[in-house]
Chain A
Amino acid sequence: MPENKFLLVFNTIHDVLRAEKILKQHKVPNELIPVPRNLSSDCGMSILLEGDIATVTGYIGQVPAVGVYSFDGQEYVPVIIGHH
């Protein structure tokens, strides 16, 4: 499975922290970063993580992400889960 960087965007800091707690439990490396301006003008936070996105969404399934993007170092590209 390709190990890539992914960005998860949530509605509220509450969901960000819920997801962060779950990722920490599963030892998925992650970092909270401000939501990139080109994705949203929100002043919210998003989670940048490394891992297999299908596995990760399995862990945090209950937490409603409003956007999932892959990140190649330059651009954020929307990802549809379930397709490999």
Chain B
Amino acid sequence: MIYLDNAATSFPKPAETIDRLNDFVRNIGGNPGRSGHTLSLEAARIIFEAREKLTAFIGMEDSERLIFTLNGTESLNMALLGFLEAGDHVVTSSMEHNSVMRPLEYLRRVRGVSYTPVPCCADGFIDLEHLRKAVAGKTKAVVINHGSNVTGAIQPLREIREAIGDVCLIVDACQTMGSIPFDMKENAADILCFSCHKSLYAIQGVGALYVREGIELAPLKFGGTGSRSESIEHPMFLPDRYECGTPNTPGIASLLGGLSFIERRGLANITKKKQALRSRLVDGLTKIPGVRVYGHRPRDAGSYLAIVTFNIDGMLASHAGYELNKRSLFVRIGLHCSPVAHQTIGTFPAGGLRASPGYFTEESDIDIFVEAVRAIAGK
């Protein structure tokens, strides 16, 4: 089988991920920071270590501002619902994932928040002039999908920051984190949301949120934190304010394995391999008559992640996907939780086929896949 759905979640996981997961569940198992015993302390130390390492990984220092969540979607909900109030205006892009659009739409209906989606070109890159004009006096935040889960287009965060000035910048880095270098100090994001189970190689059930100093989010959840337990008032101090209840400690342990793997291989090498796989895939697909690849027009090397959405003329994506699945070639079909992105690239409502190789994909896997697409397309 050839797994080409790493944009949904990475598979396989490196041995380090599984080893840390296994070790925690078999040998440690405690509820972190609640009880006074050794197993609880060991669990707490794992979380602390993961928090510190992930904070350093994104280029920041204050690990109490790194919050663990269930997934990128929860991080985005905490950011958007926690930051935006009635009457606020938000600027976003036309390539956003539903985990940005749905909270914004909810906030629009229920809390009187307004939002302006700035158009992106058919490859998925935002129109910077239009963005500059869209940010008005009362714009409270700009929310941007750093790397599209449909075309792979990587938005230029530095240019976006220049275009928007001081306005709070909320970045959805679910696809980019672990795929390309990311330095929050350098790119000046204010609130960073991402998954840990994609290119950071944790198991599913782990995401993260980093909130720059000076930014206050209203918490979405309230509850036990293992701190100030004599009080029924939810704590103000971090990270407890945004993390209550039992965390996904096994998942966070697995994240330590994933980060260790990335350190061992070198993020630069991972980035390079994935970009080579993307090029090979796009080259192969674009040579097949009747196959249309969205978002591949030549740009600077490294403008795209290894995420390729395509269609076969005259064939429904669902049918082509079914044929691919019969050959044990696993891609994601449909709208990829981003109807607005598909509207931008012109594939709404039918959607497309999305192939997303990962670090463990081989060149031969890409070649087999391309040949299968050729066969299915009847070419």
Contacts and interface: CB of A to CB of B under 8 A. Distances in A.
Interface in B35-81: 35-36, 41, 44-45, 48, 51, 63-64
A48 to B, nearest CB: 12
Chain B interface size range: 20 to 34
B32 A43 contact: no
Interface string A40-53: 11111100000000
Given A17-B45, A41-B229, A41-B230, A12 B237 contact: yes
Interface string B265-282: 000000000000000000
Residue picked from A21, A41, A44, most chain B C-beta under 10 Å: A44
A14 interface: yes
A34 B230 contact: no
B239 interface: yes
A12 B229 CA distance: 10
Interface in B159-186: none
A43 B227 CA distance: 7
Given A12-B240, A14-B240, A44 B227 contact: yes
Given A41-B230, A42-B228, A44-B229, A11 B237 contact: yes
A15 B52 CA distance: 12
A41 B230 CA distance: 6
A34 B38 CA distance: 11
Contacts, number: 57
Chain A interface size range: 10 to 19
A32 interface: yes
Contacts of A44: 33, 226-229
A42 B45 contact: no
B228 A34 contact: no
Contacts of B230: 40-42
Contacts of B227: 11-13, 42, 44
A34 B35 CA distance: 8
A12 B36 contact: no
B374 interface: no
Interface of B: 32-36, 41, 44-45, 48, 51, 63-64, 225-230, 235, 237-240
7 contacts: A13-B44, A14-B64, A17-B48, A41-B230, A42-B227, A43-B226, A43-B229
Given A11-B235, A13-B32, 8 more contacts: A11-B228, A11-B240, A13-B226, A14-B48, A14-B51, A14-B63, A40-B230, A44-B228
Interface of A: 11-15, 17-18, 21, 32-34, 40-45
